[in-house]
Structure 1
């Protein structure tokens, strides 16, 4: 993305020609990076596991 492109990554603002528009979160990251330079990101996730949990199977699945 160049400095003169918009928050959706396009110069003309018509995202339908080149791809999909950014989500609200992505747009916020774009603005922060243009205001402050390189902004570090942390993306957190969680997983609800119902039933028996086998850590070995879970680790194997995560490694794939």
Structure 2
């Protein structure tokens, strides 16, 4: 049987795990968003270098839709 202090410690550890899981989920969202923005920048840089206005417009539209 677990003592009061042990049960309290287990509960504290469970809360810490829950908090860490939430932080990991938030970091995953940030990393996904960063990857999306990197894709948009890549889609813009190549057309800008080649002055391909149609591709530039498509990339900007795709970015605006992602917001």
If the length of structure 2 is used for normalisation, what is the TM-score? 0.30
More helix by share: 2
